[in-house]
Structure 1
Amino acid sequence: MATWRNRLGRRRNRVTRRSRVWLGSLAIMFGCLLVLALKPLTYQSIPEGHDPEDKTLSPYFVVQGGDPETDALPLKDTRAEVKIAGKVANVTVTQVYKNQGKKTLEAIYVFPGSTRAAVHALRLTVGERIIDAEIMERQKARQSYEEAKKTGQTASLLEQQRPNVFQMNVANILPGDEVKVELKYLEVLKAEDKVYEFVYPTVVGPRYSNVPATGAPDTEKWVENPYLHQGQAPPYTFGLTVEVRGGLPLAKLASPSHEVKINYINPQVARVTLADEKTGGNRDFVLRYALAGDRIDTGLLLYPGKEENFFLLLLEPPDRVKKEAVVPREYLFIVDVSGSMHGFPLDTAKALMKNTISSLRPQDFINVLLFAGASTVLSESGSLPATDENKKRALEFIMAQPGGGGTEIVPAFQRALALPRTKGASRIVVAATDGYVAAEAQLFDLIHQNLGDANLFPFGIGTAVNRFLIEGMARVGNGEPFIITNPAEAAKQAARFQSYIGSPVLTGIKVAFQGFDAYDMEPQALPDLFAHRPLSLLGKYRGTPGGTVVVTGKTTTGDFRQEIKVVDGQGSQANEALKFLWARERIHGLSDYERLGRDKDAAKIKEITDLGLKYSLMTAYTSFVAVDKVKRADGTVTTVKQPLPLPEGVSDLAVGNGGYGPGVITKLGALPQAGSAMKEETAGLSGLPPSPSPPPGIPSGPPAAGREQKPAADIPSLTVSILRVVGPMEAAAAQQALEAKLSRFEKCYRDAKAQGVKLPLPVKLQVIIGPEGKATEVRQVGQAAPSASLLKCLMAAVKETAFPKPASGQVEVVVQFKVTGR
């Protein structure tokens, strides 16, 4: 919707015929505004700040002011009904789409899910008709959906883009329609330190990607999704109801993420609802509870099926025994300081680093690598002794970062894991990031190939982190994942981390079966247990249940052994969820994290596909599709992507060039490719200092291989782009006028270079063009320019530019100057 600027002269004359005309015009204007207010909110479909040279997949900001007949916000409500009974959460998610415009729509909505979710059903409701979806191979499901869209049938398609990112397409939503889509999933809950936690993700954070848009696979295109600006509330309501049946009296039931209302039906059952459904859909919903007496729900569950029998074993681990380690440790901290970490997430990461680094022992060693669009390291030659002086230097190195730029996580890890190791020390790698990247597969493979015998402990920082990345890094890195949603949790999580690495709960875990015919166990090998959480094992069994399950391992004080009796009475038809959970765990194992980045294994893909079809589960290769048999339209649709809110605490810098609010510096995707991984191109980092010189007695490392030293007289290549035009002027005409002054703009940069000014990140100017085609007002927007003289020169050159005369009134233009060669 356009911004109106009215200048109304005030006179103290009596009302005349002219003033009556004015009052009549004012009434008409208010009437028009009222009509506009009753129309659906519209947005332009073209990304704001679209850069013609930027051909990578990138999220973008939506722009107000599009086709008034198109409802660009068709998702009106999303809510979850959760039933937790014992060890299993049963979740039903309902999305309501309404078309309040005049054109038939196809709505596309990208939303998150739990990484452990077994999605097993989808239902479409159109008016009085209910259509249960079919599970199909991914390509066949897409084909069925596209055919229905063309023939005017209402249809829905649910696809998995990542284990925790789903995409819903709903076609042929007619004007005035209300369409409901329900999906159902299951997941197992495990207590950690005697506390249960249920997490319901609500929004997918913007992902950084350097994948070219041209030729990008379908599984990557979801990255190019529209976002609202920071602080804008979700354009849909978000409701959630959780019913907790603990089996024992509940204790410590609370949500650290949302304000909730709790109604205890009895001591063992409680109902939890959100206090506010308008603003809660921009962060993960977290619910924690314990059972009376710090008990945890463990034991053996059996499901005797018609064709197959399934079991779930949850075994309470031994208590942690603290034992002071003798071997020194080498701590390598890898910290994300990109644009999406700006503000609250980076402040939280800094608090974590302060608590962790301060607790290091004198016999330990320390090194720090910071990354955004490029990386910089505390000590290139190797880790430093954890003296008070070096710990202070490390903290100052981290604390100086404001956050900005892209998220080249793969080159950063490649560089970090290649740093020299300290002999005789056990290496611990600690990573802090929000995980807003689309390169999960490449990163998992890199860690698997290069970590060696070190352990990796990733910390997800933020209110809606990419848990798939964080959990995957931990799994392939033989560590444990941590999630920190606010700075107040940093000290507690740092203490947990120290206890985990100081004394693992159980190692060398093995499971044996005596008299119980078990097979197809998942996971096939149980990893070492750092956290105090139950051991979990899913599998199948043959015949009448009986015998014993024997679990052995080692603690810090000696051997561990526990036996669990198997009896027929543990079986129940009510445990049908076990078959879905087993199949989900088997699929999880087949598409294991460290294999995702390698050549696709046709046999494994077929096995995953067959499992998805047999057990009706959504996977990377199977999708749900529901098609209404009634043809209701002519197949002409307008496709709209549902804009997403930025996660709470995430700034516009996470999306970058899409807007021009304070601090916007770059558009995701328009950054150096990962091929420059081993170069110390710190100029690519927004605000990062060069690597500090080592203290006396520590030799400095050689320059990184392939590093180029450019002469000071190097003249940059400059791109001038139109980011936004408001008013009666074609963007191409304004662009042509600016390009005519390109040599003048280049001179501004050449003069700044000669004065020793570091080449800046993009500079944005807001220009008001008057009726004569001249710039009547020029001001900077976004990040402050690094040089007052450069800014003054650019503003003067813009004022010299001869723009086309607007058809009427004045025009607002936002211009970006970007250095594309350094």
Structure 2
Amino acid sequence: MTAKRCKQLEYTAAGLLAAALIAPASQAAGLMTPAGGSLPELQLRDHHVAVVIEDGYAITTVDQVFFNPHDQALEAVYSFPVPEEAAVGEFTYWIDGKPVVGEVLEKARAREVYEQEKAQGRETALTEQDEYRSFDSRVYPVRANDEVHIQLVYIQPTHVDLGIGRYVYPLEEGGVDEQKMAFWTYNDTVEENFSFDLRMRSSYPVDTFRLPQHPQALVTRTDANHWQVAMDNGGTPGIAAAGANGALADDDITAGASAVPQTAGTASHTPYRLDQDIVVYWRHQQGLPGSVDMVTHRAPDSKRGSFMLTVTPGDDLGPVTGGRDWVFVLDYSGSMQGKYQSLIEGVSQGLHKLNPQDRFRIVLFNNGTRALTRNYVPVTAANIERYIRELESISPSGGTNLYAGLETGYRGLDADRPSAIILVTDGVANVGTTEKKAFLELLQKHDVRLFSFVMGNSANRPLLEGMAEVSHGFAMNISNADDIAGRLLQTAEKLTHEAYRDISIDIDGVKVADLTPAHIGSLYRGQQLVVFGHYWGEGEASAKISGKVSGREVEYRTPLSFPAQDTLNPELERLWAFASIEALDRRIDYLGEDSDSRQAIVDLALEYGLVTDYTSMVVVRDEVFAEHGIDRDNAARVATEQAARAAREAAPVRDHRQDGGAPAFNAPRATPGGGGSGGGAVGPWGLLLLLPLLFKRRTRRAQ
């Protein structure tokens, strides 16, 4: 894309974000029973979530109890989504009252072991990936009038955008897998005890927290570095009992005190439905400097260490101005029922915020496409009113021919005007061309950025994010529990300002390798850059971060310190491995599956204990692992990680900043509304007025 076009992209997606966020959930995480069958339902008795955010990543522990109120033994099947970038690496099943950690095997073998043990009536459990970020956990047997206890742990990097962090505990299913929905019925109700407990340990000062859809949550600041967010369904044991390492002890399910005050004289609870995502925002103190942080791990006597490098640029990206063309490509397939009217209102708001010199087109797609505007039309009140009326006359239906929608959107681009495509979809490509390679080749033919808004937890994120990467745009994941104003604010800042292009990182002084992502691409205003890698040797090194902004070369330098030993963050090994697996998955999606890439994924997953498309995690009795010749490598890794979490909890919060003595950036970090106005009917200064609404919250400072 030319420098001129790079400089002239501006905000327009406000209404689309609003539309994405108002929609009701269509499916949820929960226990599954074959629809129309004779098997009775199990009960989801307890569901406890403990989250720890520290050192640039989050550890989520989900502790559950399933109960069988019937007179026959049953199999429990629990379906759940996980967030993007989350690595599932720990699955525990309590057998005879003792926790047994699962081991990762190739998918077919794991299923074979599970079915063999199930056929013999012995305790077994299995977690496998279904598709994209959806997983299923199976547990057998849940004996008559008895319960089973399982625990799942996943880890993920955390990101701060324009000084605002975001964590999502996903529960809503997207409702786009019609075959799965037809086969299974879902029980998403926690009958007895539900709790959510998030603890943050941060070396950078945090001003406040916000949960847009859960105002009942209690936010507590214990000191400058420690925060807690807690909520339950009343009378729940476990919030206070869940330690800061995110794990629940064997007896914490039935003992402990809630951190949320209860009404005197009551011990009742209300059943809690797992049908709405829990979205948590936190806002860093304004005026923090741009920075370079690095977390490391190196086991004793190991020649190789792991690192996570996080670059938070200063606010060096200027605003852009000028007229441009906007193409709205909107999904109106059947899964958009219940969301479509909100989308119309969102498009109306978005069109009213365009500049008078802009032009727009609207393309709809389901089984086929419909070019609502045919050609570009000027932004006038009459045109906006006309095409909103036409949108209102259409009802969602049919499948999702995403390729046809994009292909139509790319037709008729004006080479003399800067252009951008705004895509909103909640589903998967299930009609017409569906191969990812074809989508990427389509985008490579056009010098136009694609900005995608991915609605829900079941969308084909690998495809949509891959397209954004190829076009040098971005894909933003949207939850129905998100803050409309907040996501609008973050998006507007990216479309109104310049961006970093062709970013590269060079490290001298210590040997480093296996960097992921290997190709960084673009970075937009307010975004952080996170890179994983390995290092050999020890001592001081230097890093050069270079790229282009509107065609001009930019360069930043920072010192780095690589320790000979650091044992407090062993999770970095899994985070590096999973980031590498995702890179291999993208290669397979683009070039097609080959034996080398597939085997590389399997090898990484087996070595680091990760559930993938090709590997699953199985639990059997301790002695049965030996019978099947299964080494207890993952159990050993989990023990190491749990010991490190306990050590971190007992230690002061660590400062991982590398450039404190020689700052890489002169300007402070970007914040909403900073850096000038990029034009448009509502500029960043107007959006800044939304901030007081963004962060109204219930916060109790600990005495």
**Same-fold call, TM cutoff 0.5:** yes
Kept in 2: contact 1:312–1:536 (CA 8 A): yes
Partner residue of 2:200? 244
The residue correspondences of 1:404-419 to structure 2 (distance < 5 A) are: 404-413=396-405, 415-417=407-409, 419=411
Letter in 1 for 2:592: D
Matched, 1:311 2:307: yes
Residues 478/556 of structure 1: CA separation in 2 closer, same or farther (3 Å cut) = closer
Report the count of equivalent residues.
Answer: 552
Partner residue of 1:610? 603
Partner residue of 2:412? 420
Partner Cα separation in structure 2 for residue 190 and residue 43 of structure 1: 33
Partner residue of 2:334? 339
DSSP 3-state at the match of 1:528 = strand
The structure 2 residue matched to 1:563, chosen from 557, 569, 587, is: 557
The structure 2 residue matched to 1:600, chosen from 590, 593, 600, is: 593
The residue correspondences of 1:277-676 to structure 2 (distance < 5 A) are: 278-279=271-272, 281-295=274-288, 298-305=292-299, 306-319=302-315, 321-326=317-322, 328-343=323-338, 345-380=339-374, 382-401=375-394, 403-413=395-405, 415-417=407-409, 419-435=411-427, 442=434, 444-451=436-443, 452-461=446-455, 471-485=465-479, 490=484, 493-494=487-488, 496-556=490-550, 558-568=552-562, 572-592=566-586, 595-596=588-589, 599-628=592-621
Residues 525/467 of structure 1: CA separation in 2 closer, same or farther (3 Å cut) = closer
Kept in 2: contact 1:314–1:536 (CA 8 A): yes
What value does the CA root-mean-square deviation take over the aligned residues? 3.2
Partner Cα separation in structure 2 for residue 445 and residue 283 of structure 1: 33
Matched, 1:124 2:93: yes
Kept in 2: contact 1:205–1:466 (CA 8 A): no
Kept in 1: contact 2:209–2:282 (CA 8 A): yes
CA deviations over 1:568-603 (Å, ceiling 9, x no partner): 4596211211111111110010101x7426532111
DSSP 3-state at the match of 1:103 = coil
Residues 354/379 of structure 1: CA separation in 2 closer, same or farther (3 Å cut) = closer
Residues 533/495 of structure 1: CA separation in 2 closer, same or farther (3 Å cut) = closer
CA deviations over 1:222-274 (Å, ceiling 9, x no partner): 56553469xx9666864321111112443121211323112322232122112
DSSP 3-state at the match of 1:353 = helix
Residues 73/404 of structure 1: CA separation in 2 closer, same or farther (3 Å cut) = farther
Letter in 2 for 1:304: R
Residues 363/248 of structure 1: CA separation in 2 closer, same or farther (3 Å cut) = closer
Partner Cα separation in structure 2 for residue 331 and residue 236 of structure 1: 50
Kept in 2: contact 1:546–1:567 (CA 8 A): yes
Kept in 2: contact 1:137–1:609 (CA 8 A): yes
TM-aligned CA deviation for residue 409 of structure 1: 3.3
TM-score by length of structure 1 reads 0.62
Of 273-282 and 360-369, the range deviating more from structure 2: 273-282
Partner Cα separation in structure 2 for residue 530 and residue 395 of structure 1: 31
Partner Cα separation in structure 2 for residue 445 and residue 535 of structure 1: 26
Residues 545/574 of structure 1: CA separation in 2 closer, same or farther (3 Å cut) = same
Kept in 1: contact 2:538–2:564 (CA 8 A): no
The structure 2 residue matched to 1:106, chosen from 66, 75, 79, is: 75
Kept in 1: contact 2:401–2:430 (CA 8 A): no
Letter in 1 for 2:209: L
Partner residue of 1:24? none
Kept in 2: contact 1:509–1:553 (CA 8 A): yes
DSSP 3-state at the match of 1:591 = helix
Kept in 1: contact 2:365–2:405 (CA 8 A): no
Residues 582/407 of structure 1: CA separation in 2 closer, same or farther (3 Å cut) = same
Letter in 1 for 2:54: A
Residues 463/166 of structure 1: CA separation in 2 closer, same or farther (3 Å cut) = closer
Of 510-519 and 315-324, the range deviating more from structure 2: 315-324
Partner Cα separation in structure 1 for residue 360 and residue 584 of structure 2: 37
DSSP 3-state at the match of 1:368 = strand
Of 385-394 and 334-343, the range deviating more from structure 2: 385-394
Partner Cα separation in structure 1 for residue 326 and residue 570 of structure 2: 45
CA deviations over 1:293-330 (Å, ceiling 9, x no partner): 4538741222223252111111111315443344x533
Partner residue of 1:201? 170
Partner Cα separation in structure 2 for residue 255 and residue 385 of structure 1: 39
Kept in 1: contact 2:329–2:422 (CA 8 A): yes
Residues 366/293 of structure 1: CA separation in 2 closer, same or farther (3 Å cut) = closer
DSSP 3-state at the match of 1:153 = coil
Residues 629/579 of structure 1: CA separation in 2 closer, same or farther (3 Å cut) = closer
Partner residue of 1:271? 228
DSSP 3-state at the match of 1:97 = strand
What percent identity do the matched residue pairs reach?
23
Partner Cα separation in structure 2 for residue 351 and residue 574 of structure 1: 49
TM-aligned CA deviation for residue 197 of structure 1: 0.9
Stretches of structure 2 that go unaligned for 5 or more consecutive residues are: 1-30, 234-269, 625-703
DSSP 3-state at the match of 1:116 = coil
Residues 341/519 of structure 1: CA separation in 2 closer, same or farther (3 Å cut) = same
Kept in 2: contact 1:471–1:481 (CA 8 A): yes
Letter in 1 for 2:387: A
Kept in 1: contact 2:505–2:543 (CA 8 A): yes
Kept in 2: contact 1:197–1:286 (CA 8 A): yes
Partner Cα separation in structure 1 for residue 555 and residue 588 of structure 2: 33
DSSP 3-state at the match of 2:83 = coil
TM-aligned CA deviation for residue 349 of structure 1: 2.4
Partner residue of 1:638? none
TM-aligned CA deviation for residue 618 of structure 1: 1.3
DSSP 3-state at the match of 1:256 = coil
Partner Cα separation in structure 1 for residue 191 and residue 521 of structure 2: 43
Matched, 1:226 2:184: yes
CA deviations over 1:722-747 (Å, ceiling 9, x no partner): xxxxxxxxxxxxxxxxxxxxxxxxxx
Partner Cα separation in structure 2 for residue 357 and residue 43 of structure 1: 42
Residues 418/533 of structure 1: CA separation in 2 closer, same or farther (3 Å cut) = closer
DSSP 3-state at the match of 1:72 = coil
DSSP 3-state at the match of 1:585 = helix
Kept in 1: contact 2:362–2:373 (CA 8 A): yes
Question: Bigger radius of gyration, 1 or 2?
Answer: 1
Kept in 2: contact 1:335–1:369 (CA 8 A): yes
CA deviations over 1:690-713 (Å, ceiling 9, x no partner): xxxxxxxxxxxxxxxxxxxxxxxx
CA deviations over 1:459-481 (Å, ceiling 9, x no partner): 23469877556545533443222
CA deviations over 1:3-27 (Å, ceiling 9, x no partner): xxxxxxxxxxxxxxxxxxxxxxxxx
Letter in 2 for 1:239: S
Letter in 2 for 1:131: V
Partner Cα separation in structure 2 for residue 75 and residue 441 of structure 1: 40
- Point out which structure has higher relative CO (alpha carbons under 8 A, 6+ apart): 2
Partner residue of 2:213? 257
